[in-house]
Chain A
Amino acid sequence: MNHSGGLIGIVGLAVCAGLVWSPTGLARQPPDDTVDTPQTLSGAADEARSPRNANYSIDVRLDPDSRVLTGRAVLTWRNIAAVSAPDLRFHLYYNAWRNSRSTWMRERELGRGPGLAARPEDDWGWIDVTAVRLLGDAGPQDLTDRMRFISPDDGNLDDRTVLAVPMPAPVAPGETVNIELEWRARVPRTFARTGAIGDFFFIAQWFPKLGVLEDTGWNCHQFHTVTEFFSDYGVYDVRITAPSGWVVGATGRGDPPRDNGDGTSTHRYVQEDVHDFAWTSSPDFLDLTEQFEVTGLPSVRMRLLLQPEHAGQAARHFAATRATLQYYGQWFGPYPYAQITIVDPAWQSGAGGMEYPTLFTAGARWLAPPDIDQPESVTIHEAGHQFWYGVVGNNEFEHAWLDEGLNTFSTARTLEASFAPHHVARRYFGGFVPFVFRDIDWSRATDGNRLAGYRVAARMDAQATPTFEYWPGTATAISYDKTALWLHTLERYLGWEPVRETLAVFYDRWQFRHPGPEDFFAVANEVTGRDLTWYFDQVHGGTETFDYAVQQVTSRPLRDRGFTDRDPETTFEDPLDDRGLTRTTVTVRREGDGVFPVDVLVVFDDGEMVREHWDGRARWRVYTYEREARAARVHVDPDRVLLLDVDATNNSWAAAPRARAAATKWTLRWMVWLQDLMLTYAFLV
């Protein structure tokens, strides 16, 4: 926390105080074409990195007994779109868990069954906006009666996750308005990463949050079960009142808590250039800090709020966060904030594995052997979201693959670079006791990119479909897994450097903005110097699957015979060629609809290797060789460039296949397992 803002900071604070506490002194701002830098709300005097057009000053009080939040906010919003806004639209995410009629709950049931709807009364949550006022020269103008719920995505009249507030007059492009909001919210027992259990509170998506006004109008979707969030950048100045003695962690830099003398304390957190604000509070946290220091990258204060039962895993959390800041920083661009907060959520909180600006939740297990990828994997992933989601702020309602996919790819690469080898583990006895398979190494290509998840869901949706319209049961596979696989395929096809540079340019060009898919594709084409549209059309635009196979291989003695034209007459030759050669015929086939250029490697039994390049377009292709040696092995895509290939088993052929030996080996192990199972149940007789 920078407490030495000096004169600028004092002026800033004074202006801030005026903004927040003197509503009558505020006036509508005239339209302004320039992207101005609003007054910084704390001592920080750094230059605006983002448009800062949605700024929040919030006071919130947590009553842990009733699990009720009482909040008041002043939103300072500048219309940076090219169109006027006749109304303002707010997300009220907590209403997704108001009842089972919400769109979120309906979609959840569609994808995963009705389990959540059966939860007890105490689990449900809600948010009620109790007052909306437009602040202006003439004093506050009450807009509360104008509020109405809308459901722009599905017309579900029972859904209360989007609130529209018609304005007395449209907000013109460039114009700034100040809106005061008051609300009450009941914190749910977690349905989706936000909620409470016991004394652990993880509070996200908790305040009325403005949607994004685009040149085409409001982009303010209802809350859907498979999507996350989208909002504009701004400055958040939040004062959180919680029981004294409770640890509070939040987006941004925190001041020392102020004791209110009534058993509560108020914690102030401020952060510029972020598009969301989350916080957590619990009396149980271990509060640890370390500094990230790597040459060439800005220093970052890492704060870890750890569950006491994971005290022994503090170093693992810090190491994973450090690896993320280092590798993402060196590959794509530096982390721009001065601090990052890692929250180790309470067991059963359901809050693990989620990202928010400058703060994220990891996820550790009590029994966590050192050579498995938990908590490292989830820590890297969520820390990585600071780059893909936090800094590059794509629309997660519509293009979740942009942050989730890029980040899954980056996570796997970082995990491989920093922690390999990890092993695969399985948990037994209620999921508590891990068994580590030390002969099974974690693989970046298949495990990190989650090929197994993609394989079974490959055709469920085209990635170009707006994410909130994905089939709820398989959305993750399309957003996370497929993107990671096609990016890694691109890395193997073009090389790491072009892909890294693509991501770095995308990061640099679109930081603190809202890019879409076409922006990413344009950067990729520009940086690589290639038109990759053919590729993106397939992996993003369609549901094609890729599957190349060795269909048939024959190696037979050359036995051509028949008439040949030789002077002076046509003669019958048997054989036509008596050099004792073998003709090898290799047929490769494109089983899937997707097209990708692949190599075909033919290895002969004298050790000679021939590598062919096939553009992969035709349904099949034949390669013929006439030589003394016979084919020993054939491999289509021998380097496994095409990680999207959904069936790698048919990619190769061997003259002496070892499937029988392998099957014997594994059958023998399976027999031991079955015998042990029989003996386990023989306990009963």
Chain B
Amino acid sequence: MPVVTALLDGLRRVFRAPVILLGATALTVGLTVPLGVLLHGELQTALGEGAVADAMADGVSLDWWQQFASQATGLERSFTTSVIGFAAVLGNLSALLDGGRQQPIIVAVVLAYLVLWTFLSGGMLDRYARDRPTRSAGFFSACGLYGSRLLRLTVVAGLAYALLFGVVHGWLFNDLYELLTRDLTAERQAFAVRAGLYVVFGLLLVGVSLVFDYARVRAVVEDRRSMIGALLAGWRFVRRRPGVCLRLYAANSLVLVAVMSGYAVVAPQTGSTGLSMWLVFLTGQAYLVARLASKLLFYTTEIAYFQSQLAHAGYVAAPAPVWPESPSAEAIARLG
């Protein structure tokens, strides 16, 4: 299957299941709301009752922000100028690649998100693999069926990423970078070195991500119970078809970059209150929906490609999930 075909097939599968996209968006928004409420209270108190609040409502007061930052603790410390416009995207990407540290409460929320996502990804992969509506019962049944397996796989993936971020990253960006740039006298050379290390680290991340992606796909599509087996199967699949797998991954990455670039163009900076702040928020949400779609596109294209390589395209090993009746319904049925 050519990459373009897989890409188009993947796109079709994403858009034929809009509820998954909406659900993923709801999950993403929903997890931020409680912390948003907390932060809102802190900000409202810190903004006081006077002119500074006006300045922050109509635009931005860097002076206030610096004062707030100097006294901030916990959640408040995550409120930096990096929340403005496209800086959010750059800052987060930079934090990922540079091994930036986040506040513990933010780490906790991100971890919760990853766990929930992993649990739900069983239903997502199942839905995309079947390429037909499974309804909520089928979706959550698949989540229940595959959730614990994928969580086990994620633990293994976590170990691999811990090795990458905890050991390899430090070696690349502290030891090797220091070694390669210590005596450089031109910043552009150092930047080139760093960019090169980003590429190296990125390729390692992609390699690991690719294997675990196909491991997830095989775990669901082939109803594998052993996640070690799924991981090895994912590895074998990628090893035997490295060219297409990498090209497909690159194509998906290009879609992601296109989404980010689009947001870079339209992302508003400070703005005002009232309608404009909601427009800014909605613009951000539109970007995030597009980004979620591009995330799901990785799943769907990889499923489409994997299935195209099977003897029976569209084949799903697992039986159709059957959602049990409620105990009450069963009791009534027995009465009859």
Cα(A677)–Cα(B89), bound, Å: 8
For B118, the chain A residues whose CB sits under 8 A away are 685
A678 contacts the other chain (CB 8 A): yes
A566 contacts the other chain (CB 8 A): no
Q: Is the CB of A654 within 8 A of B53?
A: yes
Q: Take A433-B90, A440-B81, A685-B114 as given contacts and tell me if A657 and B49 are in contact as well, using a CB distance cutoff of 8 Å.
A: yes
Q: Take A347-B186, A452-B70 as given contacts and tell me if A678 and B28 are in contact as well, using a CB distance cutoff of 8 Å.
A: yes
Minimum C-beta distance from B300 to chain A (A): 15
Count how many chain B residues have C-beta atoms less than 8 Å from C-beta atoms of the other chain.
97
B109 contacts the other chain (CB 8 A): yes
Q: Is the CB of A200 within 8 A of B90?
A: no
A interface, by DSSP: helix, strand, loop or mixed?
A: mixed
Question: A638-659, CB under 8 A of B: which get 1 and which 0?
Answer: 0000000001111111100111
For A514, the chain B residues whose CB sits under 8 A away are none
For B88, the chain A residues whose CB sits under 8 A away are 669, 672-673, 676-677
Q: Is the CB of A680 within 8 A of B62?
A: no
Minimum C-beta distance from A391 to chain B (A): 32
Those of B289-315 within 8 Å (CB) of chain A:
291-292, 295
Contact of B49 among A452, A653, A685 (CB under 8 A): A653
Q: Take A309-B187, A443-B62 as given contacts and tell me if A671 and B87 are in contact as well, using a CB distance cutoff of 8 Å.
A: no
Partner-binding segment picked from A45-53, A124-132, A289-297, A421-429: A421-429
For A650, the chain B residues whose CB sits under 8 A away are 48, 50
For B54, the chain A residues whose CB sits under 8 A away are 654, 658, 662
Please name the residue on chain B nearest to A635 by beta carbon. Answer: B51
Q: Take A446-B63, A649-B50, A662-B53 as given contacts and tell me if A674 and B185 are in contact as well, using a CB distance cutoff of 8 Å.
A: no
Most buried by B among A284, A426, A668, A674: A674
B188 contacts the other chain (CB 8 A): yes
Q: Is the CB of B81 within 8 A of A437?
A: yes
Most buried by B among A199, A348, A451, A669: A669
Q: Is the CB of B185 within 8 A of A198?
A: yes
Partner-binding segment picked from B96-104, B129-137, B223-231, B321-329: B96-104
Q: Is the CB of B280 within 8 A of A668?
A: yes
Please name the residue on chain A nearest to B271 by beta carbon. Answer: A665
For A633, the chain B residues whose CB sits under 8 A away are 50-51
B46 contacts the other chain (CB 8 A): yes
Cα(A439)–Cα(B58), bound, Å: 11
Question: A460-490, CB under 8 A of B: which get 1 and which 0?
Answer: 0000000000000000000000000000000
Q: Take A661-B273, A665-B57 as given contacts and tell me if A451 and B66 are in contact as well, using a CB distance cutoff of 8 Å.
A: yes
Q: Is the CB of A652 within 8 A of B97?
A: no
For B93, the chain A residues whose CB sits under 8 A away are 428-429, 680
Please name the residue on chain B nearest to A427 by beta carbon. Answer: B94
Q: 21 A-B Cβ contacts within 8 A?
A: A347-B190, A367-B191, A429-B94, A435-B91, A437-B60, A440-B60, A452-B67, A649-B46, A650-B50, A652-B51, A657-B50, A657-B53, A662-B53, A665-B57, A665-B271, A668-B278, A668-B284, A672-B288, A673-B82, A682-B117, A684-B158
Besides A429-B90, A433-B90, A550-B50, 20 other A-B contacts (C-beta < 8 A): A428-B91, A439-B270, A440-B60, A452-B66, A633-B50, A648-B63, A649-B67, A652-B52, A653-B49, A658-B57, A663-B44, A664-B40, A665-B271, A665-B272, A667-B36, A668-B36, A671-B29, A678-B109, A678-B110, A685-B157
Ranked 10 nearest A-B pairs via Cβ: A652-B50, A672-B284, A428-B94, A346-B185, A452-B66, A662-B57, A659-B47, A663-B43, A659-B53, A663-B44
